[in-house]
């Protein structure tokens, strides 16, 4: 019988379906040192963001050679040493489409919150402050949204922002995308310079490190907002905080952080920052899609 360890949770209906299909399912988040021993007993490991699947864990799994498949429930696989796993005969899969709409909608939520001061007026109102004159916002209509990375999620964001009357420009390392002539392909620097909102849709690469630092922030308009619902490591938080404090940019919407849970209190409590605790894929609909896509991946792989 195929033994599956679900380390970071999964939709209940998907778990029930796996059991109905006669897989042995263990839903347990083990601390790293315990997981090193437990991993040898499983054929499949399902993770989200919390569990890191690095070389030492993969090496431990090779002692029994039971582990055949690692699945990341979500888009990125930067918490998995993919190349090392696959070089050692362990397949790695993810669910790139399941949460695209949810993350795209959260991106727009941050854009709207910052534009209309929802993130801070919601707090001051609870402190019995009526600061109506202080919160004169801006409309999304007619503004330019710049997308760094133009994959599945970015395209869902673009589709929705375009319907709100925004101008869409984008940069992608792969170049101009076919079939999206209503949007303008630009250089990386031009996206930063021209945009009223810059939204990041790129993976984190430990080798290249941060993508948005002091230089990149200095290219942005001082009225612009930076949105990051992708990966925390792509933004230099120290440089971002300096940019906010010195009015280099107007604000930031952040769902992801260099360290999670974030201990950067100066950033998360900044009045020009809208924050959420990595909830991009945290919708009922996305969790069900992720769950059933994982079931399909497991079925296809082991059958």
Cα separation of 136 and 242, whole Å? Answer: 24
Which residue in 28, 63, 259, 260 is the catalytic one?
260
Structure-block tokens of residue 184:
């303008």
Which residue in 93, 119, 201, 231 is the catalytic one?
231
Structure-block tokens of residue 62:
């090779």
Q: How far is CA 302 from CA 8, 22, 81, 278, 279, in A?
A: 21, 12, 22, 31, 31
**Residue 256 near residue 229, CB atoms below 8 Å:** yes
Cα separation of 207 and 198, whole Å? Answer: 23
| DSSP 8-state code for residue 41 | G
Q: Would residue 143 be called left, alpha or beta, if left means φ above 0 and alpha means ψ between -120 and 50 degrees?
A: beta
- In sequence order, which residues have a C-beta less than 8 Å from that of residue 173 and are 6 or more positions away? 149
**Token pair 């399909």 in the structure block, residue:** 296
Residue 278 bears catalytic tag: yes
Which residue in 48, 155, 278, 289 is the catalytic one?
278
- In sequence order, which residues have a C-beta less than 8 Å from that of residue 136 and are 6 or more positions away? none
DSSP per position, 68-80: -EEEESSS--TTB
Look at strands 69-72 and 44-47 and give their pairing: parallel
Residue 231 bears catalytic tag: yes
Angle between helices 284-302 and 12-20 (to 10 degrees): 20
Rg over alpha carbons for the chain, rounded to the nearest Å, is 21
- Active site positions, annotated: 231, 260, 278
């Amino acid at each position: 019988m195929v033994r599956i360890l679900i380390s970071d949770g999964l939709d209940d209906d998907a778990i029930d379906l796996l059991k109905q299909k006669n897989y042995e399912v263990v839903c347990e988040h083990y601390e790293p040192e315990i997981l090193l021993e437990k991993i040898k007993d499983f054929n499949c490991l399902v993770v989200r963001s919390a569990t890191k699947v690095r070389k030492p864990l993969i090496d431990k799994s090779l002692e029994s050679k039971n582990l055949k498949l690692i699945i990341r429930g979500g888009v990125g696989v930067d918490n998995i040493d993919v190349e090392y796993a696959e070089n050692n005969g362990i397949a790695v899969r993810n669910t790139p489409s399941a949460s695209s709409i949810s993350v795209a909608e959260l991106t727009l939520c941050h854009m709207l919150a910052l534009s209309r001061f929802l993130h801070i007026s919601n707090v001051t109102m609870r402190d019995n402050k009526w600061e109506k004159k202080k919160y004169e916002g801006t409309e999304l209509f007619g503004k330019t949204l710049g997308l760094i990375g133009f994959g599945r999620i970015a395209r869902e964001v673009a589709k929705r922002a375009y319907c709100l009357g925004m101008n869409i420009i984008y940069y992608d390392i792969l170049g101009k995308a076919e079939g999206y002539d209503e949007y303008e392909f630009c250089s990386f620097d031009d996206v930063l310079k021209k945009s009223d909102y810059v939204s990041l849709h790129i993976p984190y690469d430990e080798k290249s490190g941060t993508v948005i630092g002091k230089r990149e922030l200095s290219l942005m308009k001082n009225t612009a907002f930076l949105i990051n619902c992708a990966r925390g490591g792509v933004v230099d938080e120290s440089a971002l905080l300096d940019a906010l404090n010195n009015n280099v940019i107007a604000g930031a919407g952040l769902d992801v952080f260099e360290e999670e849970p974030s201990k950067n209190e100066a950033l998360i409590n900044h009045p020009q920052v809208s924050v959420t605790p990595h909830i991009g894929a945290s919708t009922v609909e996305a969790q069900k899609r992720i769950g059933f896509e994982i079931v399909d991946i497991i079925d296809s792989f082991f059958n």
